[in-house]
């Protein structure tokens, strides 16, 4: 068993490094897109698109990058002190996502547009609700004083499974949201269309990388 784990350490390290590089690339390209090509970001502005731009910024940072990085670190090192740090990271992801949802609802309200009428919004709202429930159950199962070790053992595989499932729901939400850019903003060609496509590809690759890290055997203490 030890030999099998050792055999996977190098590819696991390479996939992890690649995932971190993808996370940085997504954040960088996303900021370039929203600030340079789409007039910037703001919670309050007479340029309404700036309010909307807070939505992709915060949801991609929260549910894709912060959440994905949290899963990577959670899989690599499973200690109680690290679980506390991991819970904080997921809370940070949830808070960022909630602010992102608030931004798009604010944008719709100010322009008197209906809410939650697309597949993107349905999956997104389901994702944020399940994410919050996952965080709450994880806290009471793993961190709440008096939680039993036997419960940890039973719940851990399901916690990992549902966490990965919710993460890929977030990936799907991001991809459908980027597709809506082409539908509503009428992006057919040009620099912005190219950037949006690259962001979508990077997000997909990041999701696959995180999935690989979950399934590749790692050395654990």
Domain boundaries, the chain: 2-215
Q: Are 210 and 12 in contact (CB under 8 A)?
A: no
**Cα distance between residue 159 and residue 170, in whole Å:** 16
* Buried residues in 113-129 as b, exposed as e (16+ CB within 10 A): eeeeebebbebbeebbe
Domain range 2-215, CATH class: mainly alpha
CA-nearest of 19, 51, 53 to 36 is 53
CA-nearest of 10, 12, 4 to 215 is 12
Is the per-residue pLDDT at 75 higher than 90? no
Is the per-residue pLDDT at 39 higher than 80? yes
pTM of the model: 0.85
pLDDT digit string, tens, across residues 137-157: 887 777 666 666 666 677 777
Residue 197 main-chain phi, psi, to 5 deg: -60, -45
Total number of residues shown for the chain? 221
CA-nearest of 27, 34, 25, 32 to 53 is 34
Q: Are 19 and 72 in contact (CB under 8 A)?
A: yes
pLDDT digit string, tens, across residues 94-148: 999 999 999 999 999 999 998 989 999 999 999 999 999 988 888 777 766 666 6
């Amino acid at each position: 068993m030890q030999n099998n784990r050792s055999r996977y350490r190098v590819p696991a390290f390479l996939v992890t490094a690649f995932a971190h590089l993808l996370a940085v690339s997504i954040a960088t390209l996303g900021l370039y897109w929203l600030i340079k090509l789409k007039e910037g970001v703001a919670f309050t502005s007479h340029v309404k698109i700036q309010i909307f731009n807070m939505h992709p910024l915060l949801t991609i940072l929260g549910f894709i990058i912060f959440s994905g990085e949290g899963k990577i670190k959670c899989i690599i090192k499973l200690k109680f002190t690290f679980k506390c740090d991991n819970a904080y990271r997921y809370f940070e992801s949830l808070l960022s996502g909630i602010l992102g949802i608030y931004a798009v609802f604010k944008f719709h309200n100010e322009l008197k547009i209906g809410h939650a009428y697309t597949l993107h919004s349905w999956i997104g709202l389901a994702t944020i609700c399940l994410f919050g429930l996952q965080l709450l159950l994880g806290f009471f199962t793993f961190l709440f004083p008096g939680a039993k070790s036997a419960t940890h053992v039973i719940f851990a595989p399901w916690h990992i499974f549902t966490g990965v499932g919710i993460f890929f729901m977030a990936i799907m939400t991001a991809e459908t949201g980027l597709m809506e850019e082409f539908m509503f903003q009428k992006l057919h060609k040009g620099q912005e269309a190219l950037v949006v496509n690259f962001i979508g590809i990077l997000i997909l690759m990041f999701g696959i990388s995180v999935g690989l890290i979950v399934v590749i055997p790692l050395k654990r203490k």
